[in-house]
Amino acid sequence: MAFKLTYKSYGAYAILIEWPPKINEEILNDILCFKSKLLGANIDTISSCNHAYHSLVVQYKVGNFDGILEVNRLKTIYASTEPLPKTTKTVWYIPVCYDVSFGIDIEKLSKIKKISVEALIRKHTMPEYLVYFIGFLPGFLYLGGLDSTLATERLSVPRLNVIKGAIAIGGSQTGIYPLDSPGGWHIIGNTPIHFFDSSKEEPCFVKPADRIKFFSISLSQYQDIKVLADAGVYQIKKELFNG
Amino acid sequence: MVEVLQAGFYTSIQDLGRFNTQHYGVPLSGVMDVRAAAIANNLVGNKANAALLEMTMTGPKLQFNEDAAIAITGAHLTPFINGKETSRNKCIYINKGSILSFGVSKLGVRGYIAIKGGFKTKKVLGSRSMYKAVTPICILKKGTLLQIHPSEASPADFFSKLKVKEQYLKSEFLEVYKGPEFDCLSAFEKEKLLKNRFTISKNNSRMGYQLLEPLQNDLTPIITSPVLPGTVQLTPSGTLIVLMQDCQTTGGYPRVLLLTPQAITVLSQKKMNDSVFFKLNE
């Protein structure tokens, strides 16, 4: 379906395209479809396009840039109905150790939510989280689908250092810290999987529209998987599906 | 080879940055003062994207273990070779064994050292610009060894001297475009934003510059959306944050203004307590 899009200039050499201000899968798919048509058009003056929940920024190379002409070209591409190649998406099964030694906020959170730690883990491992985009930090996935009963206001004072691999809940979102970083979310566990590796040509193995499913592992399983993951030989369980 | 004897406050290798990695959450990075960096590379006959050193407030102390041609531009950090003051904005030949050091900055914040051939650090995701978690190191440290590309430029390609206009180092005006959420501001808020003087706070770095004076506003946060360097964000508590080269790729604060590329170079030479005005480009 076609949405009513708005086109705004964002500085001298970029165009911001906005969908209706909502977070849902239909909009994500429409953005990705547009992005794919746009990349397929091989416009050599475009230097990059980057999307988030309901917006796409198209950046152009510095030089002769005619905003009106480019917007018209973008509109034509958006309206074009040429069939897209079927894309395959992936569900990634991500091991998470929810032990209190990693999940330093999990007991506090279970008290706030008035549920057992086990029930909290069940609620967190139940959904297949939808990957909307990567932003904030290299390899940080914006995930949708957190059980609304787990939504928790962020810490009033962020921690100066959250360790790499931390699984956390902040507001109505859940996420994985791909690197050591400051952060204000409640930490409930840790994954030994690396979500960002700058030495690879594709530094992130997860793509927008993929899905993430967490499963609970013990501390000793964590150590075993970590050895393999650090050596780059851990096979992440995955399932393909057609989107 | 160049050996770092002292690193200076914040010295890093930069080129023009990573152009197509924002969808991995990897910032653009690259030189903050594009203009000064381009002049430095030009003076030694390098291409525009050659990697050079960006220094901040205080320069490094470097030992050259081979002959080299260098150029120093940007902030007025007094350069010395073997303790003797030398020129800025000029191609200088430096002999093997010599030591390059700097005095304190008299004007501006960021200075550049280009070397004929360019620095040859590891290219990661298409760029040598240092950034935490992307490149093996993010700033130079005492003992860091830097390799230099063998130069393809012949001496004839060099501008031995260049008349460089440096008024921008003193400019207080930041030319801006309207940001995507500019029109969500009230007429009163717009007027304050474009008329008032703003002071650079102590929170200023390659990631962004926070301004001291708050701008009370009634804007609601936006759904997280892409941001570009130069974007001026306005937080609900009224803090203005100007995003710079190492900024995050997405953000949730309204984007009220966007600096022109020239204005980014002006701001990158500002330090705590300096003041700026925004001037709309129409």
Chain centroid offset of residue A176 CA: 9
Residues B18 and B148 in one domain: yes
State the nearest Cα–Cα gap between A16 and chain B, in angstroms.
8
Contact A50 B23 (CB under 8 A): yes
Q: Which two tokens stand for residue A13?
A: 């050499």
pLDDT tens figures, A115-139: 999 999 999 999 999 999 999 899 9
The reply to whether A129 falls in a domain is yes
pLDDT of B157 reads 53
pLDDT of A48 reads 92
Residue with tokens 């701001």: B267
Name the closest residue on chain A to residue B179, using Cα atoms.
A10
Residues A61 and A114 in one domain: no
Chain A residues in contact with B124 by the CB 8 A cut-off are 198-199
How would residue A62 be classed by pLDDT, with cut points 50, 70 and 90? confident
Domain boundary pick from B167, B194, B211: B167
Of chain B, the percentage scoring pLDDT greater than 90 comes to 89
Domain count, chain B: 2
pLDDT of B30 reads 98
Residue B156: is its pLDDT beyond 80? no
Question: Phi, psi (5° rounding) for residue B193?
Answer: -60, -35
Residue B66: is its pLDDT beyond 80? yes
Chain B residues in contact with A18 by the CB 8 A cut-off are 180, 225
pLDDT of B158 reads 57
Size of interface A-B (CB pairs under 8 A): 106
Q: What is the DSSP letter of A89?
A: E
Contact B260 A12 (CB under 8 A): yes
Chain B residues in contact with A16 by the CB 8 A cut-off are 180, 225-226
State the nearest Cα–Cα gap between B198 and chain A, in angstroms.
21
The CA-atom distances, in angstroms, between B197 and each of A101, B63, B107, B212 are 49, 43, 20, 10
Residues of A with CB under 8 A from a CB of B: 8-12, 14, 16, 18, 21-23, 47-57, 59, 62, 133-140, 142, 178-179, 196, 198-199, 203-204
Specify the pTM. Answer: 0.94
How would residue B105 be classed by pLDDT, with cut points 50, 70 and 90? confident
Residue B163: is its pLDDT beyond 90? no
Chain B residues in contact with A133 by the CB 8 A cut-off are 23, 250
Residues A64 and A109 in one domain: no
Residues A26 and A103 in one domain: no
Least confident residue range of A7-21, B130-144, B147-161: B147-161
Domain boundary pick from B127, B147, B167: B167
Residues A163 and A188 in one domain: yes
Residue A83: is its pLDDT beyond 80? no
pLDDT of A155 reads 86
Q: CA-CA distance, A239 to A94, in Å (whole number)? A: 12
pLDDT of B221 reads 84
pLDDT of A1 reads 61
Domain count, chain A: 2
Residue B160: is its pLDDT beyond 70? no
Residue A217: is its pLDDT beyond 60? yes
State the nearest Cα–Cα gap between A47 and chain B, in angstroms.
7
Q: What is the CATH number of the domain that holds A31?
A: 3.30.1360.40
Residues A111 and A231 in one domain: yes
Residue B6: is its pLDDT beyond 90? yes
Chain centroid offset of residue A130 CA: 8
Residue B4: is its pLDDT beyond 60? yes
Identity of the amino acid at A105: D
Q: Which two tokens stand for residue B279?
A: 């001037």
pLDDT of A82 reads 72
B152 close to B12: Cβ distance less than 8 angstroms: no
- Beta partners for residue B233, in sequence order: B241, B255
Interface test with B, best of A5, A10, A54, A181 (most B CBs within 10 A): A10
Q: CA-CA distance, B17 to A72, in Å (whole number)? A: 29
Residues B221 and B153 in one domain: no
Nearest to A98 by CA among A213, A231, A191: A191
Q: Which residues contact A233 (CB under 8 A, 6 or more apart)?
A: none
- Domain range holding B120? 2-167
How would residue B34 be classed by pLDDT, with cut points 50, 70 and 90? very high
Nearest to A120 by CA among A95, A140, A146: A146
pLDDT of A76 reads 95
Q: CA-CA distance, B32 to B243, in Å (whole number)? A: 11
- Domain range holding A140? 88-242
Residue B155: is its pLDDT beyond 80? no
pLDDT tens figures, A137-182: 999 999 999 999 999 998 888 898 999 999 999 999 999 999 999 8
Q: What is the CATH number of the domain that holds B217?
A: 2.40.100.10
Neighbours of A177 (CB within 10 A): 25
State the nearest Cα–Cα gap between A119 and chain B, in angstroms.
30
Residues B241 and B127 in one domain: no
Residues of B with CB under 8 A from a CB of A: 19-26, 124-125, 132-135, 177, 179-180, 222-226, 228, 230, 248-250, 255, 258, 260-261
Chain B residues in contact with A56 by the CB 8 A cut-off are 226
Chain centroid offset of residue B147 CA: 22
Q: CA-CA distance, A154 to A136, in Å (whole number)? A: 16
